Structure 1
Amino acid sequence: MAVEAGTRQEERVVGRVWTVRLDPDGRPSVGAVRLSCSRPACADQRFPGGAAVGRKAAIDHVKEHLARIREGGGPRGDAWCACRAAGCAWHTPAPATGRPSGAPPTAGAVRCEGPAVLTVYADRAGRLWRIAETCTRCAAATPGCRVLNTARRPARPAPTGTDQAPQKPDAEEDPADRAGRDGLTAAFSDRGSSPAAGASSYAAASPAPVPRARAAQPASASRRTKRWGKIAQRIVPRDLEPDALRLELIKLGDEFRAYQQRTEPDLTVLATLHERKARAFGQWADVSGDISLRHEAERAEKAAQTTLEMHANRTGQPIGGTAGDGPVVERLLTRTQAASARTVLDYVAANSPHPEAEVRLAVLMLTLRSARAGTGNVTGQDLTGWLQGDAEQVVERLIEAGWLRLPGTVAELMDSRPEGPIAVTVPTLLPEQSRPFAFGKTTRARLSGWAQKVVSDRKIRKKKATAADRLLALYTTAHARPDGRLGHVEDDGLRLDQAAEFCALPPDQIAEHAGLLVAAGWLAEADTIGDRLRGQLAERALPLGGML
Structure 2
Amino acid sequence: MRLDPYGRPSAGGVRVSCSRPACAEQRFPDGTAAGRKAAIAHVNAHLARIREGGGPRAAAWCACRAADCAWHTPASDAGRRDGTRPSDTVRCGGPVVLAVCADRAGRLWRIAEMCARCAAATPNCRVLETAAPPERTAPECTTPAGADQRVGAPGTAPAGSTAGAGGGIAAMFSDLGSAPAGASASSARPSASPAGASSPAGASSSPAAAPASVPGARRTSPGAATRRARRTGKIAQRIVPHDLEPAVLRMELIALGDAFRAYQRRPEPDLTLLATLHERKARAFALWADVSGDESLHDEAQRAELAARTTLEMHQNRTGHVTGDPEDGDGPVVERLLTRPQAVHARAVLEYTATHSPHPEAEVRLAVLMIALRAARAGTGNVTGQDLTSWLQGDAERVLEQLIDAGWLCLPGTIADAMASRPESPTAVTVPTLLPEQSRPFALGKNHRTRVSGWAQKVVGDRKLRKKRLGATTRLLALYTAAHTRPDGRLGRPEDGGLPLAEVAAFCNLPPDQVSTHADLLVTADWLTETDTTEGQLRGRLTDRVLPLAGLL
TM-score (norm 2): 0.51
CA contact (8 A) 1:368 1:448 kept: yes
Shift of 1:252: 1.8
SS at match of 2:476: helix
Shift of 1:468: 1.7
Q: What is the aligned-residue identity percentage?
A: 56
1:361 pairs with one of 366, 376, 380 = 366
The corresponding residue for 1:25 is: none
Is 1:433 aligned to residue 285 of structure 2?
A: no
Shift of 1:306: 2.0
The corresponding residue for 2:118 is: none
- 1:192-247: CA deviations, max 9, x gaps? xxxxxxxxxxxxxxxxxxx99x89999x949x99x999988x7x989998784784
Change (3 A) 1:497 1:291: closer
The corresponding residue for 1:520 is: 525
CA contact (8 A) 2:379 2:430 kept: yes
Change (3 A) 1:464 1:481: same
- Once residues 417 and 379 of structure 2 are traced to their aligned partners in structure 1, the CA distance between those partners, rounded to angstroms, is 20
The corresponding residue for 2:541 is: 536
Is 1:251 aligned to residue 277 of structure 2?
A: no
Change (3 A) 1:271 1:238: closer
The corresponding residue for 2:474 is: 469
State how 1:144-183 maps to structure 2 within 5 Å.
Answer: 146=10, 167-168=21-22, 172-176=24-28
State how 1:339-378 maps to structure 2 within 5 Å.
Answer: 339-378=344-383
Shift of 1:434: 2.9
The corresponding residue for 1:501 is: 506
Shift of 1:394: 2.6
- Once residues 229 and 328 of structure 1 are traced to their aligned partners in structure 2, the CA distance between those partners, rounded to angstroms, is 40
- Once residues 221 and 118 of structure 1 are traced to their aligned partners in structure 2, the CA distance between those partners, rounded to angstroms, is 28
Change (3 A) 1:460 1:147: same
Q: Which amino acid aligns with 2:504?
A: A
Q: Which amino acid aligns with 1:461?
A: R
Shift of 1:466: 1.8
Change (3 A) 1:282 1:539: closer
SS at match of 2:438: coil
- 1:128-168: CA deviations, max 9, x gaps? xxxxxxxxxxxxxxxxxx25778999xxxxxxxxxx98734
Shift of 1:541: 2.3
Q: Which amino acid aligns with 1:306?
A: T
Q: Which amino acid aligns with 2:276?
A: T
SS at match of 2:259: helix
Q: Which amino acid aligns with 1:301?
A: E
CA contact (8 A) 1:492 1:534 kept: yes
Is 1:404 aligned to residue 409 of structure 2?
A: yes
- Once residues 513 and 400 of structure 1 are traced to their aligned partners in structure 2, the CA distance between those partners, rounded to angstroms, is 30
Shift of 1:496: 4.6
Shift of 1:399: 2.2
- Once residues 165 and 509 of structure 1 are traced to their aligned partners in structure 2, the CA distance between those partners, rounded to angstroms, is 89
Change (3 A) 1:278 1:502: closer
- 1:431-487: CA deviations, max 9, x gaps? 333332256555444432322221111111111222222112112223344443334
* Bigger-Rg structure (1/2): 2
- 1:17-42: CA deviations, max 9, x gaps? xxxxxxxxxxxxxxxxxxxxxxxxxx
- Once residues 466 and 376 of structure 2 are traced to their aligned partners in structure 1, the CA distance between those partners, rounded to angstroms, is 26
SS at match of 1:345: helix
SS at match of 2:324: coil
Is 1:275 aligned to residue 294 of structure 2?
A: no
CA contact (8 A) 2:385 2:421 kept: yes
**Tell me, which stretches of 5 or more residues in structure 2 are unaligned?**
49-193, 199-228, 245-249
Taking only aligned residues, the RMSD between alpha carbons, in angstroms, comes to: 5.3
- Once residues 405 and 518 of structure 1 are traced to their aligned partners in structure 2, the CA distance between those partners, rounded to angstroms, is 38
Change (3 A) 1:504 1:301: closer
Is 1:382 aligned to residue 402 of structure 2?
A: no
Change (3 A) 1:507 1:229: closer
TM superposition outliers: structure 1 runs of 4+ over 6 Å: 114-118, 148-153, 187-191, 214-218, 227-232, 236-243, 279-287, 290-297
- Once residues 520 and 347 of structure 1 are traced to their aligned partners in structure 2, the CA distance between those partners, rounded to angstroms, is 27
- Once residues 401 and 332 of structure 1 are traced to their aligned partners in structure 2, the CA distance between those partners, rounded to angstroms, is 34
Change (3 A) 1:501 1:299: closer
Q: Which amino acid aligns with 1:174?
A: Q
SS at match of 1:539: coil
2:268 pairs with one of 238, 261, 268 = 261
Shift of 1:511: 4.1
- 1:60-119: CA deviations, max 9, x gaps? xxxxxxxxxxxxxxxxxxxxxxxxxxxxxxxxxxxxxxxxxxxxxxxxxxxxxx978775
Change (3 A) 1:372 1:301: farther
- Once residues 266 and 502 of structure 1 are traced to their aligned partners in structure 2, the CA distance between those partners, rounded to angstroms, is 38
Shift of 1:362: 0.9
Change (3 A) 1:241 1:255: farther
TM-score (norm 1): 0.51
CA contact (8 A) 2:15 2:25 kept: no
Is 1:307 aligned to residue 161 of structure 2?
A: no
2:329 pairs with one of 323, 334, 337 = 323
The corresponding residue for 1:205 is: none
- For these two proteins, the number of residue pairs brought into alignment is 362
The corresponding residue for 1:84 is: none
The corresponding residue for 1:450 is: 455
Change (3 A) 1:302 1:534: closer
Q: Which amino acid aligns with 2:356?
A: N
Q: Which amino acid aligns with 2:275?
A: A
Question: Which sits farther off after the overlay, 417-426 or 443-452?
Answer: 417-426
Change (3 A) 1:406 1:174: same
CA contact (8 A) 1:378 1:423 kept: yes
Q: Which amino acid aligns with 2:406?
A: A
- Once residues 407 and 229 of structure 1 are traced to their aligned partners in structure 2, the CA distance between those partners, rounded to angstroms, is 68
Question: Which sits farther off after the overlay, 309-318 or 352-361?
Answer: 309-318
The corresponding residue for 2:60 is: none
Change (3 A) 1:356 1:258: same
The corresponding residue for 2:114 is: none
The corresponding residue for 2:96 is: none
Change (3 A) 1:281 1:397: same
Where relative contact order (Cα < 8 A, 6+ residues apart) is larger, the structure is 2
CA contact (8 A) 1:230 1:253 kept: no
Change (3 A) 1:246 1:375: same
Judging by fraction of residues, say which structure has more helix: 1
**Tell me, which stretches of 5 or more residues in structure 1 are unaligned?**
1-113, 121-145, 154-163, 180-186, 192-210
- Once residues 422 and 190 of structure 1 are traced to their aligned partners in structure 2, the CA distance between those partners, rounded to angstroms, is 62
Change (3 A) 1:419 1:272: farther
SS at match of 2:521: helix
